[in-house]
Amino acid sequence: MKRLLCIVGGMNVGGAETFLMKVFRRLDKTEYSMDFAVAEKGRCAYDDEIESLGGKIHRITPKSESFSKNFGEIKKLVRDEKYDYVLRTSQHSLSALELYAAKQGGAKTRVFRSSNSDTGVAGKKSVILHKLCKFMPRHFANVRIAPSTEAADFMYGKGSVEKGKAHLLNNGIDTDIFRYSEDARTSIRHEFSIENDLVFVHIGRFNYQKNHKFLLDIFAEIVKLRPCAKLLLVGKGELEEEIRTTIDKLGLSNNVIITGVRSDVPAILSASDAFIMPSFFEGMPNTIIEAQATGLPCIISDSITKEANITGLVKYLPLSISAEQWANECLAAVASERKDTKSAFIKNKYDIQSVTDDFVNLIFDFK
């Protein structure tokens, strides 16, 4: 049995965590196991499923509380449990310090997964710290992976994939689960009383990165042209109250529906007519991949990697143009029929089985 320890902040419904769960579900449990070291003190969204799949959850002290305790606990955990394989997924280079702790504990294969193309934290201090610590993923990890070229370049240096210093590992999905469903569309639209409306959707944490303020400006322009249009905002986060205030100020209270975190994302996507994501930055957003799997047109910022356009359903727009221009493009993108995209996913190796096979080859079969 080859055993992998994944070090994460907490196993909640985020992009990196969801990626790990998709792989975990597909792994051959007779040959491989995945356990998780989490800095979250309370129960997380995926904890029950992890345990039902046979995974262990170890609680560790967050670095924000004590660097020394965090380091020592990881070292001891790896040593006591005899983990040969350890993975850290993060968008900040400092997190690779935990792989050094794993090395001290005896881990032979240490994997760093760059999950984004920015630190995700506003402020000069975070950026400076990331730059000062950029040597860490390169020195403490002997396997370096990323979901896109941009995410690899950000963490490991320009041209890291081309030079063989990092490997791309796609954010794969189960294409059957995300296939368009007319029944799901009808059910969700009935739930929110939007049966006959034009529906746009955004799925993402309510934080700076996702640029909700501009998203709402765009949607306000859409409503001027299509007064009955609706916007589903799926997620939660630290800026939720600020976003609710903006919705009220723009007079969109009857048009915007905040759903919270949902477990039925495929159904939400089937119920929608277009996906909007004007993010400031992304690594390789799961939600864009999932939206395309349902045949949904996607209008996203050109700061997001071009590698996200798997199916030809993605339209890239600069953040420098007006909200009105974005609105016109969003309306123009709405399609009358959904496109079946499964073959494009398999061809480009974005189906979850291909990704799981690559995961095994890169990590467990590393030489």
Task: Express each pLDDT in 130-158 by its tens digit.
Answer: 888 889 999 999 999 999 999 999 999 99
2-172+351-364 shares its CATH topology with 182-346: yes
What pLDDT, in 10s, does the model give residues 231-258?
999 999 999 999 999 999 999 999 999 9
99: pLDDT confidence band, cut at 50, 70 and 90?
A: very high
Q: Could you tell me which CATH class the domain 182-346 is placed in?
A: alpha beta
CA 76, CA 121: separation in Å to the nearest integer? Answer: 30
- Helix (H/G/I), strand (E/B), else coil: 43: coil
What pLDDT, in 10s, does the model give residues 323-344?
999 999 999 999 778 889 999 9
Which pLDDT score, from 0 to 100, does residue 122 have?
A: 54
366: pLDDT confidence band, cut at 50, 70 and 90?
A: confident
- Give me the amino acid identity at 215: L
Which pLDDT score, from 0 to 100, does residue 201 have?
A: 99
**With 60 as the cut, is the pLDDT of residue 128 above it?**
yes
Mean pLDDT of 293-297: 97
Which pLDDT score, from 0 to 100, does residue 367 have?
A: 62
Report the sign of the C-alpha dihedral through residues 198, 260, 187, 247, in that order: negative
H helices of the chain, where? 15-26, 47-52, 67-81, 97-104, 124-132, 135-140, 149-156, 182-191, 212-225, 240-249, 265-271, 286-293, 323-333, 342-347, 352-359
Domain 2-172+351-364 has CATH 3.40.50.2000: yes
Mean pLDDT of 53-65: 95
CB 5 within 8 A of CB 85: yes
The domains of the chain are located at 2-172+351-364, 182-346
